[in-house]
A = this chain, B = another copy of it.
């Protein structure tokens, strides 16, 4: 277990006085540029190969402009290729809500820093679950906004057709304050008018996880009385997952290939393996995956007209132990991906809400909505806290 911060990046960069976020502190995942600090991307060979940025990333600048104070850059899984938060080079940030268990990743340090109370909020990124999973494991509010909504300038890409900026907070009020700034939209009063409960997603989760989420789901049903059960992915969540696990690594290989083929960088075995397998993906598999993505988008657009939210468990279980063998981790990663793949595939906004535990470890309930309805999800999280 180590610090959530990348060594040498604990700075204190005060925001513009008198802004909406004055008095709040934040950290930024080491995928976001901070002028004057290397952008490490969680890999020792990445920073060396790239110039120190001279401008802040858009999201960092937006928070500074709103008055928040930056306190440091946080550990990420290598080049955001990981979901558990174990970085062989920089260490595994503490999950204070489940000591001895992983924080989730790839925005591991951001979630850890907020969960530890070191800062009020933190920036992460989410391509295949990198905000949602650590939010679930660390017991935080976390958002993956509508894909394409936020300006990604200065954020190290992975798979651009799935990449999003995201953020964490411990309480709904702070979560709403940062969301207003980054969504560039006030969090109105409108609550959802209809709730769908995804039977396939709850069915895929560990029974203990589904059971643990029942009380918070009940509160949600009181908030949105017009609810019904629904199958999220008639094609199979596992089909969606397979498609995303075909498309995303190939896009990531496209992003990093030039660097890898030039510099032969060091990686944990699992990260290198992902890139090697991606490089060998047959065209036919890619073509199939692109069709599944289109089908998934159609399905979620159909399920989620304005005013409707869909509830799923954010992860199929709470945080696994730190230091499990790779062969076990592979199975856990695959299972997590089944409940996360829709994000990168379809790009709908999703908020993970804390409030449940399995054997004392947090697990999140997630709400999805129509593209662009990010603020309604934040409002729902706020309302749920006071019901």
Contact = CB atoms under 8 A, between A and B. Distances in A.
Interface of A: 45, 86, 88-89, 260-270, 272-273, 275-277, 325-327, 329
A352 B269 CA distance: 35
A270 B276 contact: no
A266 B270 CA distance: 9
Contacts of A264: 86, 88, 268-270, 325-326, 329
A268 B269 contact: no
Contacts of A273: 272, 276
Nearest to A323: B263
Contact of A325 (B262, B267, B272): B262
A323 to B, nearest CB: 9
A266 B273 CA distance: 11
A51 B260 CA distance: 33
Contact of A262 (B45, B89, B267, B327): B327
Copies per assembly = 2
Q: Identify the interface centre among A88, A272, A275, A276: most chain B CB within 10 Å of its CB.
A: A272
Nearest to A78: B266
B327 A261 contact: yes
A272 B265 contact: no
A266 B326 CA distance: 12
Contact of A269 (B88, B272, B325, B329): B272
5 contacts: A263-B326, A264-B270, A265-B268, A266-B269, A272-B273
Q: Identify the interface centre among A270, A273, A275, A277: most chain B CB within 10 Å of its CB.
A: A273
A268 B326 CA distance: 18
A272 B267 contact: yes
A353 B89 CA distance: 42
A95 to B, nearest CB: 19
Given A260-B326, A326-B260, A265 B269 contact: yes
A269 B277 contact: no
Contacts of A263: 325-326
B265 A88 contact: yes
Given A260-B269, A262-B325, A272-B276, 8 more contacts: A86-B264, A264-B269, A264-B325, A264-B329, A269-B275, A272-B273, A273-B276, A276-B277
Nearest to A277: B276
